[in-house]
Amino acid sequence: MSNISRRKFLITSSVTAATAIVAHGCSSDNSRSTTTNSNSSKLETTKAKLGFIALTDSAPLIIAKEKGLFAKHGMTEVEVSKQKSWPVTRDNLKIGSSGGGIDGAHILSPMPYLMTLNDKVPMYVLARLNTNGQAVSVAEKFKAIKLGLDSKALKETAYQAKSAQKPIKLAITFPGGNHDLWTRYWLAAGGINPDQDVILEPVPPPQMVANMKVGTVDAFCVGEPWNAQLVSQKLGYSALVTGELWKDHPEKAFTMRKDWVDQNPNAAQALLMAILEAQQWCEKDENKAEMCEICADRKYFNVAVSDILERSKGNIDYGDSRKVENFAYRMKFWADNASYPYKSHDIWFLTEDIRWGYIPKDTDVKTIVDQVNREDLWKKAAIALGVSAAEIPTSSSRGVETFFDGVKFDPEKPEEYLNSLPIKKV
């Protein structure tokens, strides 16, 4: 990391004056587009196979399929396929649909970069699917130490458990992925070394609650509906909701294989337009109940609607007597630029992956982000969809971010951020 210059990380605006002119005056109302994409006759293909994990933040892909939005934009043969785990998603992306896998997916935001760097499978990030909406949930026994946002309460317990050769086990969804990084940040902020003081164990999201029930793990970090389900079954409680760690933090992304997008640029835009339209639909309060009913179906999540609905509406029952309604940090699909893939956020993800040794410290972060993050295609799709200029960010950086512990991340100075962190592997 030491040889990554400030200049390499500099984020610059990528919205041109021409873009602003094209976008000027367009309405952001979903009713603005009622006909099939005018470019549908130019589509290179009408087929695509997309993967998803049973998590609430996959809703845009599911809604785009169920509401006919893919077909509306000319993509009449899109398959939305459930994946068992993030490693399965990765492996199916590696082989592509031509080999029996998938072309794109709902995915953890760092994964397209890890695949591009470590697996040598070039990927694109085309959109962010959501912000917020995850949680760190823990076993009932931690109520005794009132474990919550401040992980310092866990430090002595973790030390005692390690000394007794029964270290605390926390489940994460994928090494180097969002939930791994949220967990590591939370622990390290309280003085707990995630590589030495506890055990982090990858577990597929749909298996989190079952693992907690049988005592295989003591805590987990995952998206919904699994935290809410844990609480409803009285098996534990949510110590924190991740928006408390970092307000409006980036979450899942929509990724596709680079070769598929390069070979099918018009079809890729049509897919992206459908997903952006689905994100706008999912954002509306009046659609939350229907969204949850659709996603709860057996072919998607196979859970009770009640496991998804309340937290989607911003009503958080932590399970330890804390209850919040209309939570400010609820999952967002479109509001506050939730869909736009800020490059500055991907710089943070990669900086954290350097911090914990998942990628080399001399990784040219600026170059790889510019290669993988196609925010330019997002803007092109948004303009074609009729998104107003006011809803299209004018910079690929959201600026300096502040975390719950007061630490700041300046995407122009990631090295300073990394050097300031006392607990790290690099």
Residue 284 has a pLDDT of 98
Same domain, 329 and 398: yes
Rounded CA separation 293/315 (Å):
17
In this structure, is residue 337 part of a structural domain?
Answer: yes
Residue 413 falls inside a structural domain: no
Average pLDDT, consecutive stretches of 10 residues, N- to C-terminus, the chain (426 residues): 40 37 36 44 94 99 99 99 99 98 99 97 99 99 98 98 98 99 99 99 98 98 99 98 98 99 99 99 98 98 98 98 95 99 99 98 98 99 98 99 99 98 96
**DSSP code of 7?**
H
Q: Which two structure tokens, joined as six digits, stand for 138?
A: 């823990």
370 lies in some domain: yes
- Of 244, 262, 296, the one marking the end of a domain is 244
CA-CA distance, 206 to 211, in Å (whole number)? 10
Tokens of 348: 């943070």
95 belongs to a structural domain: yes
Cα-flanking dihedrals φ and ψ of residue 179, to 5°? -70, -35
123 and 264, same domain (yes or no): yes
If asked whether residues 125 and 225 sit together in one domain, one would say: no
- Do 119 and 255 sit in the same domain of this protein? yes
What local confidence, expressed as pLDDT, does residue 146 receive?
98
Residue 74, in any domain of the structure: yes
Same-domain pairing of 110 and 209: no
pLDDT of residue 41: 60
- Looking at residue 376, its amino acid is D
* Domain count across the chain: 2
Is residue 257 within 8 A of residue 47, CB to CB? The reply is no
pLDDT, position 301: 98
The CATH number of residue 86's host domain is 3.40.190.10
User: 287 and 384: one domain?
Assistant: yes
* pLDDT on residue 13: 39
Write phi, then psi, for 47 (nearest 5 degrees): -110, 145
Report if pTM > 0.85: yes
User: CA-to-CA distance for 378 and 325, rounded, in angstroms?
Assistant: 33
The residues that bridge with 134 in the sheet, in sequence order, are 223
In a domain, 14, yes or no: no
272 and 370 part of one domain: yes
Asked if residue 236 and residue 256 are part of one domain, the reply reads no
74 near 42, Cβ under 8 Å?
no
Is-contact 183 172, C-beta < 8 A?
A: yes
Q: Is 31 helix (H, G, I), strand (E, B) or coil?
A: helix
- Among 209, 244, 279, the domain-final residue is 244
Give Cα 331 distance to the centre of its chain: 10
Residues 230 and 370 in one domain: no
390: amino acid identity, one letter: A
Give residue for tokens 């005018």. Answer: 38
User: Could you tell me if residue 41 is inside a domain?
Assistant: no
Do 66 and 206 sit in the same domain of this protein?
A: no
418 is a domain residue: no
The range of the structural domain enclosing residue 172 comes to: 134-244
Q: What's the token pair of residue 83? A: 């994946």
Q: How far apart are the first and last CA of the chain?
A: 9
Instruction: Identify any residues that bridge with 241 across adjacent strands, giving them in sequence order.
Output: 135
Domain boundary, last residue among 182, 211, 244: 244
Same domain, residue pair 120 and 168: no
Quote the tokens at residue 333. Answer: 């699909």
In a shared domain, residues 233 and 261: no
pLDDT, residue 16, reads 37
Closest CA to 172 of 160, 163, 181, 164: 181
